[in-house]
């Protein structure tokens, strides 16, 4: 399978109050096209820093970042990027927010609306195009933000804790909604989360980061068939994998999975 993203020897450090702070150290990962990959680790371990580097928003201090074999360090526009906060513009309707990325890319409004409307109808936003963000629930706003990211039309999607602020029931609904979209479009997805259950349920592969300075301590493949179902989360294999990931995050040796 084709390698979509390659991170090789990437480190990032900052200077603050005359001191050097290492946010991320010698990070290496290789992500195949069409995979759903989660990144988990403690707060402050460099997960969001890695996303900002991949998105071209900041350069690494060392290392290489390749997308489809092309060096993308410092280059924006190669990925779709969604943050935990939906970042919807309050003065624009939901439809106008969803087509914003296409407008920035120069897509004519009529064409942008024609592309957005069927997705809104299919993925739970039918009839909400004329509403404003303040009129929608958190889950509905996240749907709009994700469709905006998807319609930016990039093969690589970065999702930085998109469901972190949602209540538990809405979060479960959004996880299944996201899987439906991913299975339809098969984008290459990198997903940051602090929720181990969420990482297992959504992912093909999981990278585990250590505490600062962040480095990858393990890559785990999730051997669960797709499509996924909520009952999978109480299976013996799911619980075994969860225990293994908890051991990795706590620094304990684990005998659960080799």
Are 13 and 22 spatial neighbours (Cβ–Cβ below 8 Å)? yes
Same domain, 114 and 69: no
Residues 6 or more apart whose CB falls under 8 angstroms from that of 122 comprise: none
User: What residue has token string 């409004």?
Assistant: 109
CATH code of the domain containing 60? 3.40.50.300
Question: Can you give the residue range of the structural domain that contains 229?
Answer: 1-79+156-167+188-257
Same domain, 163 and 67: yes
Same domain, 57 and 102: no
The shares of helix, strand and coil residues in the chain, as percent rounded to the nearest 5, are 35, 25, 40
d(C-alpha 60, C-alpha 46), whole Å: 12
* Residue at 147 is within a domain: yes
Task: Check residue 75 and report its DSSP letter.
Answer: -
Same domain, 116 and 17: no
**CA 30 to chain centroid:** 15
Per-residue pLDDT of the chain (258 residues; tens, 9 = 90+): 799 999 999 999 988 887 888 889 999 999 999 999 999 998 878 888 999 999 999 999 999 999 999 999 999 999 999 988 899 999 999 999 999 999 999 999 999 999 999 999 999 999 999 999 999 999 999 999 999 999 998 999 999 999 988 888 989 999 999 999 999 999 999 999 999 999 999 999 999 998 888 889 999 999 999 999 999 999 999 999 999 999 999 876 554 443
Q: How many domains is the chain built from?
A: 2
* Residue at 178 is within a domain: no
Of 28, 40, 84, nearest to 200 (Cα)?
40
């Amino acid at each position: 399978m084709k390698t979509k993203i390659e991170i090789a020897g990437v480190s990032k450090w900052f200077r603050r109050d005359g001191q050097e702070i290492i946010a991320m150290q010698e990070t290496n990962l290789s992500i195949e096209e069409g995979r759903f990959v989660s990144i988990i680790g403690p707060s402050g371990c460099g997960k969001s820093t890695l996303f900002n580097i991949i998105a071209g928003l900041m350069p690494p201090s060392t290392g290489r970042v390749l997308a489809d074999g092309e060096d993308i360090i410092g280059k924006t526009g190669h990925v779709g990027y969604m943050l935990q906060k939906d970042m919807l513009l309050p003065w624009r309707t939901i439809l106008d927010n969803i087509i914003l990325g296409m407008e920035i890319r120069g897509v004519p409004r009529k064409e942008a609306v024609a592309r957005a409307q069927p997705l809104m109808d299919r993925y739970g936003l039918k009839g909400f195009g004329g509403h404003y963000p303040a009129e929608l629930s958190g889950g509905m706003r996240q749907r709009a933000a994700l469709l905006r990211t998807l319609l930016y039309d990039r093969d690589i999607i970065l999702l930085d804790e998109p469901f972190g602020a949602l209540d538990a029931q809405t979060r479960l609904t959004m996880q299944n909604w996201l899987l439906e979209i991913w299975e339809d479009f098969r984008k290459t997805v990198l997903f940051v989360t602090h929720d181990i259950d969420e990482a297992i349920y959504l992912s093909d592969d999981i990278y585990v980061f250590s505490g600062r300075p962040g480095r990858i301590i393990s890559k785990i493949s999730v051997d669960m068939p797709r499509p996924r179902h909520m009952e999978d989360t109480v299976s013996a294999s799911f619980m075994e994998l969860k225990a293994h990931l908890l051991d990795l995050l706590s620094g304990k040796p684990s005998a659960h999975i080799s």
